[in-house]
Amino acid sequence: MTHTLRRLPLIAGIVAMTTLVAACGETRQSSSDATSDSAAAPAGARTVDIAMEDIKFDQTKLTVKTGETIDFRFTNTGQIPHDAFIGDADAQMEHDDEMAHMGDASTHSMGEAAITVQPGAAGELAYTFAAPGTYEVGCHQPGHYGAGMKIEVTVE
Ligand SMILES: [Cu+2]
């Protein structure tokens, strides 16, 4: 009886310690996963490196296969922030309008294929082109898309 009472807190202590160790191990593992994630492309993806300049992308055309996943890696070599928004021409116009009216170009809706990259920084955006057609990667910082800051993506 006395034994049982004395052992209970000890067992609880061991369980707590084990949980703590397990939690630490988990944290360490997930942070190393995050590191390898940012370095490695999604499985089966093709990596395309793109420089963002003031005010253009360093390339204007890209051809991909239907169903292909492209791991876009943007590097902003300019002095001002730039965006990359992926969608067809209609979506681009709509988005450009949205951005112009919102004023704050850094506000993207959740779930949109869009990224904003600050000067001197890099960003990654993976996108699967599920259907054939013509898409665009457009920058929607005020005036940039209108100035021709876009990449035409042909999905064949
Ligand atoms: Cu731009």
Please tell me the distance between residue 76's alpha carbon and the centre of ligand 1 in angstroms. 9
Q: Which residue has the higher pLDDT, 144 or 40?
A: 144
Please tell me the distance between residue 98's alpha carbon and the centre of ligand 1 in angstroms. 16
Please tell me the distance between residue 80's alpha carbon and the centre of ligand 1 in angstroms. 8
pLDDT of residue 52: 98
| First-to-final CA distance of the chain | 77
Per-residue pLDDT tens digits for 51-94: 999 999 999 999 999 999 999 999 999 999 999 999 999 999 99
> Contact, 97 vs 138, CB < 8 A?
no
Q: Which residue has the higher pLDDT, 155 or 37?
A: 155
Cα→Cα distances 140→14, 25, 51, 90, 122, Å: 55, 42, 16, 14, 17
Please tell me the distance between residue 138's alpha carbon and the centre of ligand 1 in angstroms. 8
pLDDT of residue 20: 42
Can you read off the two tokens belonging to residue 15? 């369980």
**Does the model's pTM come out above 0.75?**
no
pLDDT of residue 6: 57
Please state, in angstroms and rounded to a whole number, the distance separating the CA atoms of residues 137 and 76.
15
Q: Which residue has the higher pLDDT, 26 or 88?
A: 88
pLDDT of residue 43: 80
Please tell me the distance between residue 132's alpha carbon and the centre of ligand 1 in angstroms. 26
pLDDT of residue 3: 52
